[in-house]
Amino acid sequence: VPPISSRQNALVKRVRRAMREHAGEIVLEGPKQLDDAIAAGWKPIAVLRRGEDVTDDVFDSIADTRSTQGVVGLFERPGSTAAAILSRTATVAVALDAVQDPGNVGTIVRLAAAFDAAGVLLLPGCADPYGPKAIRASAGAVLSVPTAPVTPEELTSSGLMLCAAAAGEASADIPSRNAVLIFGNEGSGVSPLLLDAAARIAIPMSHRVESLNVASAAAILLAESYRRRA
Amino acid sequence: VPPISSRQNALVKRVRRAMREHAGEIVLEGPKQLDDAIAAGWKPIAVLRRGEDVTDDVFDSIADTRSTQGVVGLFERPGSTAAAILSRTATVAVALDAVQDPGNVGTIVRLAAAFDAAGVLLLPGCADPYGPKAIRASAGAVLSVPTAPVTPEELTSSGLMLCAAAAGEASADIPSRNAVLIFGNEGSGVSPLLLDAAARIAIPMSHRVESLNVASAAAILLAESYRRRA
């Protein structure tokens, strides 16, 4: 089969749209990401190699050769659900409340894998965990950690203990299971509605800073939760 | 005094050079950073406000108006020394070994403030803690945390316990004082020379990831060291 040579080819347009929209289909970049995804059970819809499946010119119209090393794969967005994640009560789930920086979202997905959290739930306003920056920051962990959108109501009606990471006095100890750890927006923290519904967990620290970076707070609390579960 | 209107003015050139080189003089951006620095005891050599001290055109040749909000300050690079940091033995010092990402360096400076470390020592190959990305990631903590370059020999001859954060089996417990915590390069970890000279401290985690992000590891170990000191 000769390589696709038209930028207007239907598959090429579909890949370009997936890169732009991160909706029902997502694009992974580079041979390592593709291998890891397939090893983790992801099924590629299509793989496009520069100069093989598409011409160099068409490939360059889709993606940057350096970051992709000349190969991209189109995948269905993996489908987990909030209910499935919340049902794994032998550990804790993570919920992110408007965490906007994709680097933070990806780093927290990596921490969820390292410390065996049930998954990462995304309240409204979060960066997409399947965007290229988040995938890079997750060091591939996004391929094996379930993520799903969630509403505040799904959390408050879950029957699990809700624990918000917040500055100030703690009202609860760090949980090891049967709980959701909620981490808030980089600037404004956990939103008032959820803060009201949740116990507060805190990290003892000096008064020299007002707060920690959200990924630093997640690292400390998830590591401690894991230690208590062991 | 009318605003400086020449891009070739000596002070303008000096500010531009400081932004490029981050050598003996550094540039801070925006009114908040300048206020915080002055409150922390930094002495400005010069402050340039867009439209006041320099013309709009000259300011725009120096810096981006959005990120600076139209004001930059030229400061002497604050001078701490490895010896001064290593002498604060009632807590732990942090040493970074070729940590290349300025976001990681800045985040670790913020953690050093949060958990009262003696300071941040920079082995060869680290990103500049006074570069704009590192300053932003430090959330201003770089203004109050001593940092200084250090050589491996200064560490090994310091008489302090050296502890390297490394994957695998720990050979020592997390220290609370009289020690240096060494964190390594994002890809290759702590260099062999220092790894040989140091005890290993490790973070219990699942086998689902090979390693943590260096700033995540620093968050967990510095928080635990602080807790043990309290």
pLDDT tens, B58-71?
999 999 888 899 99
Nearest C-alpha in A relative to B111: A212
The pLDDT, as a whole number, for residue B24 is 87
pLDDT of residue B221: 98
pLDDT of residue B84: 97
Confidence of residue A115 (pLDDT cuts 50, 70, 90): very high
Which residues in chain B have their CB less than 8 angstroms from residue A141's CB?
A: 208-209
Q: Which residues of A touch B216 (CB under 8 A)?
A: 107, 110-111, 114, 215-216, 219
Is A141 in the B-facing interface, judged by CB distances under 8 Å? yes
Which of A209, A210, A211, A228 to probe by mutation at the B interface, max B CB count within 10 Å?
Answer: A209
Stretch B196-220: mean pLDDT: 95
CA distances from A106 to A29, A159, B213 (A): 16, 27, 11
Query: Is A110 an 8 Å CB contact of chain B?
Result: yes
> Is the CB of A161 inside 8 Å of chain B's CB atoms?
no
**Res B132: pLDDT:** 83
Nearest to A116 among B139, B206, B223 (CB): B206
Residue in B115, B213, B223 closest to A107 by CB: B213
Chain A residue with CA closest to B211: the answer is A114
CA distance B148 to B77: 11
Q: Is the pLDDT of residue B79 over 80?
A: no
Q: Give A-chain residues touching B223 at CB under 8 angstroms.
A: 203-205, 220
Name the token pair of A113: 């894998």
Q: What is residue B187's three-state secondary structure?
A: coil
Mean pLDDT of chain A: 94
Chain CA centroid to CA B117, Å: 12
The rounded Cα B206 to chain-centroid distance in angstroms is 30
What is the average per-residue pLDDT within B135-141? Answer: 91
B230 versus B10: the higher-pLDDT residue is: B10
CB-nearest partner of B226 from A113, A144, A204: A204
* A206/B110 touch (CB, cutoff 8 Å), yes or no: no
A230 confidence band (pLDDT: 50, 70, 90) = confident
pLDDT at A79 over 80: no
Give the pLDDT confidence score for residue A1 in this predicted structure: 85
Given pLDDT bands bounded at 50, 70 and 90, which one contains residue B168? confident
On whether the CB atoms of residues B209 and A109 are closer than 8 A, the answer is: no
Q: Check residue B156 and give its pLDDT.
A: 97
Higher pLDDT, A169 or A212: A212
Provide the percentage of residues in chain B whose pLDDT is more than 70.
100
A206 lies within 8 A of chain B by CB:
yes
Interface touch A114/B144, C-beta < 8 Å? no
Question: What pLDDT does B22 receive?
Answer: 79
CB-CB neighbors (< 8 A) of B115 in chain A: 205-206
Tens-place pLDDT, residues A3-60: 999 999 999 999 999 988 878 899 999 998 899 899 888 889 999 999 999 999 999 9
For residue B145, is pLDDT > 90? yes
Following CA atoms B102, A183, B201, B150 in sequence, which dihedral angle do they give, to the nearest 10 degrees? 20
Q: Quick check: A199 contacting B, CB < 8 Å?
A: no
Give the whole-angstrom CA distance, residue A112 versus residue A162: 17
Q: Do B114 and A223 touch (CB under 8 A)?
A: no
Residue matched to tokens 């207007």: A8
Q: Is the pLDDT of residue B197 over 90?
A: yes
What residues does A125 pair with on adjacent strands? none
SS3 state of residue B141:
helix
For this complex, say whether ipTM is above 0.95: no
Q: Mutating which of A216, A224, A227 best tests the B interface, going by the most B Cβ atoms within 10 A? A: A216
Closest-CA residue of chain B to A213: B107
Residue A77 pLDDT grade (very low, low, confident, very high; cuts 50, 70, 90): confident
Chain A touched by B107 (CB under 8 Å): yes
Task: Determine which of A173, A208, A211 to mutate to test the interface with B (most B C-beta atoms within 10 Å).
Answer: A208
Q: Which amino acid is at A56?
A: D
Asked whether the beta carbons of residue A226 and residue B212 sit closer than 8 angstroms, the reply is no
pLDDT at A155: 98
Q: How far is A59 from chain B (nearest CA, A)?
A: 29
For the ranges A141-150, A172-181, B33-42, B94-103, the lowest mean pLDDT is seen at B33-42
Q: What tokens does A73 get? A: 């794969």
pLDDT > 90 fraction of chain B, expressed in percent and rounded:
81
CA distance B224 to B170: 15
User: Which residues of chain B are within 8 Å of residue A220 when distances are taken between CB atoms?
Assistant: 219-220, 223
